[in-house]
Amino acid sequence: MTYEEVIFYFVAALVIAGALGVVVAKNIIHSALFLILALMAVAALFILLAAEFLAIVQVMVYGGAVTILILFAMMLTRVRDLPAPRDGAQKPFAALAAIAFGITSTIAVTSTQFPGESDKINVIAFDSVSDALFTVWALPFEIASLVLIVALMGAIILARGEEGE
């Protein structure tokens, strides 16, 4: 076991723990905190995968924006004042479906010999990513900007209070 693997297992454990925390925690604030843990751990994974750029994006977007947004939303919806939402009778089926999917996908990926498979993690240069993003992938980039505008517009319109509210 190389040191990389050790780090991997550690980070992976954090990811799983965080994720499990999100889905099982009774208190929603705890869930949110676990989410931050999981997201940060994933960012660490990205670094392991030599995708530092994405790790940064991850930390900035999720660690910053998304979690803050979620916490804000929870405060706005005063989740504390409400009785803890029970998890319904669907839980066993949920578990069943999730486990079935987990097993299936695990078997699938482990049974697959991906073509050109190597154990080497290739370092992808920062600048080549940015190059690609603004040349080859310029169009999705543009469209993504429209998506963001739509989301922004939608969020504002829907969230803002109207007269008489």
Partner 1 sequence: MEQAWLIPAIPAAAFVVLLIAGPYLPRRGDWLSIAAIGASFVLFFPVLFDLVDAINADHEGFVGGVKSWEWISFPGFEIDLGFFVDEITIVMLVVVSFVALMVQIYSVSYMHGDPRYGWYFAVMSLFAASMLTLVLADNLLLMYAAWEGVGFCSFLLIGFWWEKRSAAEAAKKAFVTTRIGDVGFLIGIIMLWREAGTFNIQEIIHFAENGGYDSTYLTAAVLFLFMGAIGKSGQFPLHVWLPDAMEGPTPVSALIHAATMVVAGVYMVARMLPVFVAADAVALDVVTVLGLVTVLMSATMGLAATDIKRVIAYSTLNSLGFMFVALGSQSVTAAMLYLFVHGFFKSLLFLGAGAVIHATEKQDVNELGGLAGKMPVTTLTFLLGVGAMVGIIPLSGFWAKDEVLTVTDSEQSVAIFALVLISVFITALYMTRLFILTFLFEPKDRHAADHAHEGGPLLTVPLILLAIPTVIGGLVVFDSVGEALGFPGGFGQFVWLEEPEKYKFHADIAVMSSAVAVAGVVTGWIAWQGKAELATRVRNAMSPVATLLSRRYYIDDIYQWGINNIVLGVSTIISWFDRVIVNDTGVDGSAGLSYFAGYEIKFTETGRLPNYALGIAAGVVIIGVLLLVFEVKI
Partner 2 sequence: MIPINNFLVLSSVLFSIGMYGVLARRNAVLILMSVELMLQAVSINFITFAAYLDPENFTGIIFAVFVIVIAAAEVGLALAIVLRLFRNRQTANVDEADLMKW
Partner 3 sequence: MTGTNLDWELLAPEFIIAGWALAVVLLDLFWGRLGKEPLGYVAAIGPLAAAGVSLIWVDDTRNFGGLIDINDYTTLFRVFFGLIGGFACIASARYVRQGLLHPGEYYALILMTVIGATGMAAARELLTAYISLELLSFSLYVLTSYAKFDLRSNEGGLKYMLLGAFSSAFLLYGIGLMYGVTQTTHYDGIGEVLSGYTEDIEFAMYLGLALIIGGLGFKVAAVPFHMYTPDAYEGAPLPVTALISAISKAAAFALMLKLFVQAFIPLIDDWRYFVAGIAVATMALGNLVAIQQSNIKRLLAYSSIGQVGYLLLGIAALSPESASALVLHMVGYVTTNLAAFVAIIVFYNWSGREEIHEFRGLAERAPYLALSLTIALFSLAGMPLFAGFATKFILFQAAAQEDLLWLAGIAAFFSFVSLYYYLVIIREMYLGQPDETTRFPTPWLEYAALTVLVAGVFFVGLYPKPLFDAVEDSTDSIFPPAAEAQSVTQP
Residue with structure tokens 């905190």? 33
Q: Does 164 bind partner 2 (CB under 8 A)?
A: no
Burial class (CB in 10 A: 0-12, 13-18, 19+), 44: buried
Using CB under 8 A as the binding rule, the residues of this chain from 78 to 107 that contact partner 3 are: 104-105, 107
Q: How far is the CB of 144 from partner 3 (least distance, A)?
A: 6
The answer to whether the beta carbons of residues 84 and 26 sit under 8 Å apart is yes
Q: What share of residues in the chain are helix, strand, coil (percent, to 5)?
A: 75, 0, 25
With CB under 5 to 8 Å by kind, the binding choice for 15 among partner 1, partner 2, partner 3, none is partner 2
Q: Which of 94, 123, 150, 155 binds partner 1 (CB under 8 A)?
A: 94
Q: How far is the CB of 163 from partner 2 (least distance, A)?
A: 14
DSSP-assigned states of every residue in 20-43: HHHHH-SSHHHHHHHHHHHHHHHH
Q: Which of 10, 80, 142, 147 binds partner 2 (CB under 8 A)?
A: 147
Q: Which residues bind partner 3 (CB under 8 A)?
A: 104-105, 107-109, 111-116, 132, 135-140, 143-144, 146-147, 150-151, 153-154, 157-158, 162
